């Protein structure tokens, strides 16, 4: 045994102590609450997406004449295909939901403030990539709503000033949805965006290690208890527990509410009721409220403001002399987000 150890030590000259030092960031106690450890959830779900996504790619075909049929094959004929596809779909839903919740907790605890502004910006890039991945993934099924959703989205891009028409051409590979469009969505969904997400996550987590997570203190914490615990093994165990619970949840959702097939894309008929995926309900409702240019420019403005929020926040504090000004903005934004989403969900048109 010791000879084996020595053999390994000689070839991989890393010491247990070094490993421990590398992983053993002391973690503040509040991360024992799930609400504060939410950042790990999208990371875990991302791994689920990579695994199930690779499995689906064994059968998926990205040509418009074969795409819908290949998804139908996965769903109805391939053994456990329905399970793999449903896992992929539900993990996508939960991933987007947990990114949003994670961002809300960062926002409401003002954890983006100096010196963590850049990590907020990286986080915004992660949010954008995650939403884009969701959008391109939905397009791959090539059912009616996939097709018309993509058409509408490309034309929204067209309305963006200056770069919009370039963006539309790059997305659709032409003026309209054509036979070269779907392969684009596929390569974006399965290669370009996931790689980008992995790189961004690496930077995101490096920043967290460099700064440590924001220290928060709560009244119910007694002052004589230690206020930190070890990342390894304590926090890792927390994350593993969350991972197991998620896996059970995903399996249950996939079994009870499996992914289904809508009618195949038909470019000649727009369905009577057209809706995007739930995470775009907000922007869909917004589009119906205003003319296109107003909707597009205001959306662009809101996203830009979200990106530079840490600096807007500083300005707000200086102007209002109130440390918590951002909380009020956040509450209004949250109500707007929920309100518009629910509104779009309950009406047909």
77 binds, among ligand HEM, other proteins, none (CB under 5 to 8 A by kind): none
- Closer residue to other proteins (CB): 170 or 252: 170
Spatial contact of 231 and 24, defined as CB atoms under 8 Å apart: yes
d(CA 1, CA 50): 37
- Closer residue to ligand HEM (CB): 168 or 204: 204
Count, residues near other proteins per rule CB under 8 A = 43
By CB under 8 A, is residue 311 in contact with other proteins?
no
DSSP string over 146-201: HHHHHHHHHHHHHHSTTTHHHHHHHHHTSSS--TTHHHHHHHIIIIIHHHHHHHHH
By CB under 8 A, is residue 151 in contact with other proteins?
yes
DSSP string over 5-66: HHHHHHHS---HHHHHHHH--EEEGGGGSGGGSTTHHHHHHHHHHHHHHHHHHTT---STTT
Six token digits for residue 253 = 């959702």
By CB under 6 A, is residue 333 in contact with ligand HEM?
no
Q: Which stretch binds other proteins (CB under 8 A): 34-42, 235-243, 284-292, 300-308?
A: 284-292
How near is the Cβ of 231 to ligand HEM at its closest, in Å? 11
Which of 342, 345, 337 is closest to 100 using CA atoms? 337
Residue partners of 101: CB distance under 8 A and separation at least 6 = 38
174 binds, among ligand HEM, other proteins, none (CB under 5 to 8 A by kind): other proteins
By CB under 6 A, is residue 204 in contact with ligand HEM?
yes
How near is the Cβ of 155 to other proteins at its closest, in Å? 4
123 binds, among other proteins, ligand HEM, none (CB under 5 to 8 A by kind): ligand HEM
Among 173, 203, 253, 337, binds other proteins (CB under 8 A): 173
Among 195, 206, 255, 266, binds other proteins (CB under 8 A): 266
Number of Cβ atoms within 10 Å of the Cβ of 61: 18
How near is the Cβ of 185 to ligand HEM at its closest, in Å? 20
b/e for 177-213, b at 16 or more Cβ within 10 A? beeebbebbbebbbeebbebbeebbeebeebeeeeeb
Among 181, 238, 283, 341, binds other proteins (CB under 8 A): 181
Could you give the string, one character per residue 73-102, with x where binding to ligand HEM holds by CB under 6 A and - elsewhere?
A: --------------------------x--x
96 binds, among ligand HEM, other proteins, none (CB under 5 to 8 A by kind): none
For the chain, the 3-state helix, strand and coil shares in percent, each to the nearest 5, are: 70, 0, 25
111 binds, among other proteins, ligand HEM, none (CB under 5 to 8 A by kind): ligand HEM
Phi, psi of 14 (to 5 degrees): -115, 135
- Closer residue to ligand HEM (CB): 111 or 302: 111
Which of 41, 32, 27 is closest to 101 using CA atoms? 41
Longest dimension (CA), the chain: 74
d(CA 202, CA 211): 14
Task: By CB under 6 A, name the binding residues for ligand HEM.
Answer: 36-40, 42-43, 99, 102-103, 106, 111-112, 116, 119-120, 123-124, 126-127, 130, 197, 201, 204, 208, 213-214
Task: By CB under 8 A, name the binding residues for other proteins.
Answer: 64-66, 69, 148, 151-152, 154-156, 166, 169-170, 172-181, 264-274, 287-288, 290-295, 349
């Amino acid at each position: 045994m010791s000879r084996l150890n020595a053999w390994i030590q000689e070839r991989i000259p890393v010491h247990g102590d070094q490993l421990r030092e590398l992983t053993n960031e002391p973690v503040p106690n509040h991360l024992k609450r799930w609400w504060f450890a939410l950042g790990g959830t999208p990371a875990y779900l991302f791994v689920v997406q990579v695994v199930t996504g690779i499995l689906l790619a064994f059968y998926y075909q990205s040509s418009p004449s074969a795409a819908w049929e290949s998804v139908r094959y996965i769903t109805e004929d391939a053994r456990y295909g329905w399970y793999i596809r449903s896992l992929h779909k539900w993990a996508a839903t939960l991933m987007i939901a947990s990114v949003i919740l994670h961002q809300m907790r960062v926002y409401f605890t003002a954890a983006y403030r100096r010196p963590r502004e850049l990590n907020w910006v990286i986080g915004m890039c992660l949010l954008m990539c995650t939403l884009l991945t969701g959008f391109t993934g939905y397009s791959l099924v090539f059912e009616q709503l996939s097709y018309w959703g993509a058409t509408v989205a490309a034309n929204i891009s067209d309305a963006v000033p200056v770069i919009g028409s370039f963006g539309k051409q790059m997305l659709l590979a032409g003026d309209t949805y054509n036979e070269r469009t779907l392969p684009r969505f596929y390569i974006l969904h399965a290669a370009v965006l996931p790689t980008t997400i992995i790189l961004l996550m690496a930077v995101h987590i490096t920043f967290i290690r460099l700064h440590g997570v924001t220290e928060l203190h709560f009244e119910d914490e007694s002052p004589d208890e230690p206020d930190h615990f070890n990342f390894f093994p304590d926090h890792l165990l927390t994350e593993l527990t969350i991972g197991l619970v998620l896996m059970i949840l995903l399996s249950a959702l996939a079994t009870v509410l499996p992914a289904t097939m809508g009618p195949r894309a038909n470019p000649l008929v727009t369905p009577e009721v057209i809706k995007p995926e739930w995470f775009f309900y907000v922007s869909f409702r917004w589009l119906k409220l205003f003319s296109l240019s107003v909707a597009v420019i205001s959306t662009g403005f809101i996203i830009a403001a979200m990106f530079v929020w840490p600096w807007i926040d500083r300005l707000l504090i200086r102007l209002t002399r109130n440390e918590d000004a951002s909380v009020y903005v956040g509450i209004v934004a949250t109500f707007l987000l929920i309100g518009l989403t629910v509104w779009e969900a309950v009406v047909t048109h």
